[in-house]
Chain A
Amino acid sequence: MSDTPLKRTALYDAHVALGARMVPFAGYEMPVQYKDGVLSEHRWTRDHAGLFDVSHMGQARLRGVAPMAAFEEVTPGDFIGLKPGKLRYSLLLNHKGGIIDDLMGGRPDDDGLYLVVNAGCKDRDFKLIENELAGQVQIERLNDHALLALQGPEAVAVLAARVPAARDLGFMETARLSAFGTDVIVSRSGYTGEDGFEISLPNAIAAEVWALLLGDERVRPIGLGARDSLRLEAGLPLYGHDADETVSPIEAGLTFAVSKRRRDAGDYPGYSRIKRELDGDLSRVRVGLRVLEGAPAREGAEITDASGAVVGKVTSGGFSPTLSTAIAMGFVPPALALVGTPLSVIVRGKSQPVQVVAMPFVPHRYFRKS
């Protein structure tokens, strides 16, 4: 354990006042749940609108003469082709094609590239980008900015009542907007599978905007516990669990993050491995598992085939409030990855039947412009 004191977001006092249970997470003291509890918070987000403090995540601006072209040196995404107003999911890759982190890069305005990376990786990520792209880009970390996520079917009505232009965004679009008396970056994106927004705003007004949004009866605060169960149902990988430096985008089921243009050009880190895997030489792939009987299969549980041989491991798993059953993600050989394949998981020494199912476990409900 590190003795480094835990950091707090600008909303720490607001969480405590709401009765949150605060836990250490990625170096921060964060709310794992509020008074309603994980199940209720999860369901509220699926039915109404949930407000999350995700200010622990790493926000930055990447600037330079040609920041988009430069950023392509460390990612497999088409950033040169990223149009103004668009947001792209991408990956930082090492030279073996392993995933250093997953991230969002967007162009809310003409001020370079806006980045959001995982909290636990942010110091390393930004240092890596600075080192790898030295002389080409400058990184400004937005440490004075909070990040709120407003997620769920009622999120758009709630936000548009205060920021009308939010309604004009489609899924994976982003804009710098004048709102709450200042400039904020609003992106139509999230980590729940629901329609919703992520709002980057100065720390100085974070508590005020948080309270304003919570003042709407359609909105409740949601902790990291439900954030995890929501993203699990949505089939979205959690870095450090479902992806790490040994896992490639193809293995992780993130082939879409290797943009077509880059795939053809082969000019990204780890190309030789990724090309080989794209051509079919793949040893494992991330699948969704539905637990047919027994306890939730958690991270680390072994996955076995019909003969009892260990064929993989669960990388994240838990109980799905929407499906009222246990679900999990894990890695298995491609031959066992077909939907419907019967497998087993070993939980506390007992073998339990599971089935490979398609992800997302719960359908996404993103707002896509036609």
Chain B
Amino acid sequence: MLFTKDHEWIKVDGDVATVGITAYAAEQLGDVVFVEVPDLGKVLAVGDSLAVVESVKAASDVYAPVSGEVIEANEALAGAPETVNDQPEGAGWFARVRLADKAQYEGLMDRAAYEAFLGTL
């Protein structure tokens, strides 16, 4: 698993990356009551809005940590948005993206680096 400074994670399997938000981000958001996942086939560039997570109070964008095409979205979140709080780094994933450029994720942090980064916040 690799991490961004915006608290997204990706898990790469071949040329497909699963994207979610970290436990830290889920805790900061508070109770998630609605999740908007991307449409299949949507082509994302790094930094595009990949999903929207809504708490009782506010809506927050989840940004694409990698570029590529959305090949699967976690539709189960529509009926169970709380999964993002319960299992943010597992069943609470948002989408799977076919990587346009495998090289780009090399700039992301590993868990040790991400945890060190959290320590600076």
Give residues in A with beta carbon < 8 Å to B: 32-33, 37-40, 42, 225-226, 228-229, 295-296, 298, 318-319, 321, 326, 348
Contacts and interface: CB of A to CB of B under 8 A. Distances in A.
Contacts of A295: 34, 36, 52, 54, 59
Given A33-B30, A38-B31, A295-B52, A318 B57 contact: yes
Contacts of A298: 58-59
Contacts of A39: 30-31, 33, 56
Given A38-B30, A225-B30, A228-B57, 13 more contacts: A37-B31, A38-B31, A38-B56, A39-B31, A39-B56, A40-B31, A225-B56, A226-B56, A229-B57, A295-B52, A295-B59, A296-B59, A348-B36
Contacts, number: 43
22 contacts: A37-B31, A38-B30, A38-B55, A39-B31, A40-B31, A42-B56, A225-B30, A225-B57, A226-B56, A228-B57, A229-B56, A295-B36, A295-B59, A296-B34, A296-B54, A298-B59, A318-B56, A319-B34, A319-B56, A321-B56, A348-B36, A348-B52
Interface in B1-49: 30-31, 33-34, 36
Interface of B: 30-31, 33-34, 36, 52, 54-59
B34 to A, nearest CB: 5
Main secondary structure of the interface of B (DSSP, over half): strand
Contacts of B58: 298
B57 A32 contact: yes
A203 B31 CA distance: 33
